[in-house]
Amino acid sequence: SMPSYKWRRVLLKVSGEALAGDGLQNIDPKVTMAIAREVAAVTRLGIEVAIVVGGGNIFRGSSWAGSSGLDRSSADYIGMLATVMNAIFLQATMESIGIPTRVQTAFRMSEVAEPYIRRRAVRHLEKGRVVIFAAGTGNPFFTTDTAAALRCAEINAEVLLKATNVDGVYDDDPRRNPKAHLLETLTYHEVTSKDLSVMDMTAITLCQENNIPVVVFNLTKPDNISKAIKGERVGTLIGG
């Protein structure tokens, strides 16, 4: 009989920073290949995987808007386009190892990718395809973490898996304080009230309102992505 896993359908959020790895380029092909391999392994088990990609490795609207005089909306559109570049890179990498993949963009770029159509995305997932959501929410002033929470709710994914470069959420900055502790579980309220920098307020609130558990984990550790997707204990679990 088929082994059963904790989640049937997951939303994996991959930040731009994670895609950059420690290479000198914006995207480290070793990182995208590692993601592709681990996602391939879990889709073979029958778990449905949707991905939201960030763009901070290429362009972050908020940091440009302040310093350059660029208006925030224009800066954010450039940021959203950056996520499309990451999405296409990740798609090409996944397809190079035989994983059927579709990219859906939040605003139309029909020569490059499908437009976001919720029912179509769900259908792709049911057929075992990986769906990569690009261009965030399609709106300036939002983040791809918020896009991840939104798409997660829309497609009825059971968990938001936030892949980062750190092991999870700490009670202090582990880079500055060597005594900082990794917190294994947190409530939404603890995240917002203690101002723990997990996600922006819009994203975490959307998760809370829709009872979406969030797992924050380190994607640079081998097998962590597949462990997180299979529902094994990694990083920090936020819920309740």
Interface with ligand UDP (CB under 6 A): 15-17, 54-56, 60-62, 75-76, 79-80, 82-83, 136-137, 139-140, 142-147
Q: What are phi and psi of 9, to 5 degrees?
A: -140, 130
Shortest distance in whole angstroms from residue 70 CB to ligand UDP:
11
* Helical packing angle, 201-209 and 144-154, nearest 10°: 10
Shortest distance in whole angstroms from residue 95 CB to ligand UDP:
22
Shortest distance in whole angstroms from residue 164 CB to ligand UDP:
9
Name which of 86 and 224 has its Cβ closer to ligand UDP. 86
Angstrom CA distances, 50 to 129, 133, 211, stand at 9, 7, 18
Name which of 48 and 145 has its Cβ closer to ligand UDP. 145
Shortest distance in whole angstroms from residue 38 CB to ligand UDP:
19
> Measured between alpha carbons, how far is 114 from 105 in angstroms, rounded to an integer?
6
Shortest distance in whole angstroms from residue 240 CB to ligand UDP:
25
Name which of 40 and 81 has its Cβ closer to ligand UDP. 81
* 141 Ramachandran zone, left/alpha/beta (phi>0; psi -120 to 50): left
Q: Which residue is nearest to ligand UDP (CB)?
A: 54
Shortest distance in whole angstroms from residue 155 CB to ligand UDP:
16
Name which of 149 and 159 has its Cβ closer to ligand UDP. 149
Name which of 16 and 235 has its Cβ closer to ligand UDP. 16
Name which of 16 and 231 has its Cβ closer to ligand UDP. 16
Which amino acid is located at 76 in the chain? D
